[in-house]
Chains A and B, each alone.
Chain A
Amino acid sequence: MNSRLSTRLLTLKSNGEKAMGIFLTSGFPSPEATNLLLDAIDEGGADFIELGMPHSDPLAEGLPIQHSSTCALKAGITMQDTLEAAAQFRQRSETPLLLMGYINPILRFGAVQFCERAAAAGVDGLIIPDLPPQEASLMRKHMQKYGLNLVFLVAPNTPTERMKEIDRLSDGFVYCVTITGLTGTGLAGRLDTINSYLKRAREMITHNPLLVGFGIRTYDNACDLSKHTDGFIVGSAVIKEVERLWACPELSMVERGQLVARFVRSLKYGPEK
């Protein structure tokens, strides 16, 4: 499917550039911060943004993203709020935007209504970590109708044949999870194992761009793990950086935004000289 997302990824690839996706939990650290942070991440050079829809029971998340979801829900963030934040962002930017979230709030919203609203808001696709392909056929149909990409994931323990199948079903890209573990898990000492798995994944996944994520914290991580992939995704590290900056009372909101942009930029281009 030709979408804003796949066009962007294709362009980067033909320029020999790695793609960077950045995750942000909607409504974290406060509902008012979302617009500012989306702009900062965009400004920092994200090639696409994953906006997380907070859920009470985020099964695949490590502590930072769990915590950010709890925080956002406590502040009263709803699915509606996230869709509105997405729509507003789309009026300011053409950067591809995905929504990432768990299936229950989407079903509660109404799968069709949700797809319709997301498409109208200018969202490009969805990542639903608890919706593996064998449960996704209906959702996929709705999403295709509204021109939304449904991105599936593979993991180090995914059998080779299944990787091919997921490549066939995934739209936009295939999300290659670094480790059997949660978001934000440290990768120290595991890079060699991960790279040999990424190499295998690269051989199996030929239709879609391949992006690697989970546990990537630094420019060095990103460089190491992008060798066999088309790019990388950073989530927990961004959430932690946001949390750190928002705990500094001496910083103004504008400064925080600039520092987030700088952090994001450093993930792709290395620390500023």
Chain B
Amino acid sequence: MIYNAPDRKGRFGPYGGAYIPEILVPELDALRVAFEESWQDAEFHVQYQDLLKTYVGRPTALTPANRLSEALGGGHILLKREDLCHTGAHKINNTIGQILLARKMGKTRIIAETGAGQHGVATATVAARFGLQCVVYMGVEDTERQALNVARMQLLGAEVRPVTSGSQTLKDATNEAIRDWVSNPTDTFYIIGSVVGPHPYPMMVRSFHNVIGEEVKRQLNELTDRNTPDVLVACVGGGSNAIGLFYPFINHPEVQMFGVEAAGEGLDGRHAATLTRGAMGVLHGAMSYLLQDDDGQIELAHSISAGLDYPGVGPEHSWLKDLGRVTYLTETDKNALAGVELLSRTEGIIPALETAHAIAALKKIVPQVAPDSIIVVNCSGRGDKDMQTIMDNL
């Protein structure tokens, strides 16, 4: 079977769709049309590729991690270095793409939600680059935990609005961003930060991160004479860096894929393992796996990594899980911290806590695969932003 989700209604199997207030229906239609036109437009691609090259710093390196491979007792591990992107994570691939659409659609005001602040910074950055007004919603708890990123966004000229509703974290920041959009549909463009939300966002954000996997294909060919790796590994919160790496290989059944969720304090305690422990439902406009109680109220997630601390997940991951195409594992806060240390000591790369979940999972994955397997890990972000948390916990 050839994988070609989503369908015209934005469905990945039973997942996805657009469960949104009527006010957003015409706006999402307009966005879908603008995206589809742009994606077919050679000129848009020239502009987008040029910015990825001259502003983001693409292509990012594919780094052989020999000492890490040795430490784990096998495999040829390669790191896709999204941590080298401008602003320190893959997030900017998407914000660049979306801000080009915002300009094309004549929008003058940009809004975004952020948890750890990485997507907020990536949005504030491109808004500054194009001189557009920018408002970032951030849970008040996160503004305190991630004060440095708040300062970065403000320096970039964005207004950071602390969100005091609900749980005061990413989930509620997303609610507030949607409420802002409902209230200002004509002039405002909502740059969503992951492969979540109503159609066309999951498909569109995937397209803008697709460059990650496409580069891997090319770079692998240069490094090894092969076009496909044996194994792909990426962390999954909303799941954008994972989809970006996986998507170009989905129709290559010989490529094994692992997504790694945050098990927080452990699966029996507080965690963010939405696919592993969640149930089907609707959050932020899409049908997907969710952390929810028996009455359909959304539960709070927990992870030491603010970027994985989300009770939902991209609808495409839900479908890939049900199809059995991607295997989803979990790693605890503790293992993630050990992952930070492992990559720092073996390769001289301090990863973000999100990324560290993928590094930690290699201990489970390497023994399962053939000893000479080529394993590409998405090194989705750098760890500078997490130094305080790392120092407090290591």
Contact = CB atoms under 8 A, between A and B. Distances in A.
Interface of A: 55-57, 59-60, 63, 66, 70, 73, 78-79, 102-109, 129-132, 134-135, 152-155, 157-159, 162, 166, 177, 180-182, 185
A129 B21 contact: yes
| Interface residue tally on B, bucketed by range | 35 or more
A59 B180 CA distance: 10
Contacts of A182: 179, 182-183
Contact of B17 (A102, A106, A135, A180): A135
Contacts of A129: 21-22
Interface stretch (B144-152, B212-220, B277-285, B314-322): B277-285
Given A132-B20, A135-B18, A180-B183, A159 B296 contact: no
B298 A155 contact: no
Contact of A157 (B19, B186, B284): B186
Contacts of B18: 132, 134-135
Contacts of A158: 22, 25-26
Interface of B: 9, 17-23, 25-27, 165-166, 171-172, 175, 178-179, 182-186, 279-285, 290, 292, 294-298
Nearest to B24: A132
Contacts of A107: 280-282, 296
A131 B172 CA distance: 20
Contacts of A130: 19-21, 282, 285
Nearest to A166: B22
B22 A59 contact: no
Contact of A105 (B9, B19, B172, B295): B295
Contacts of B295: 78-79, 105, 108-109
A202 B22 CA distance: 17
Contacts of A63: 165
A261 B217 CA distance: 69
B21 A60 contact: yes
B295 to A, nearest CB: 5
Contacts of A154: 22
B292 A152 contact: no
A159 B26 contact: yes
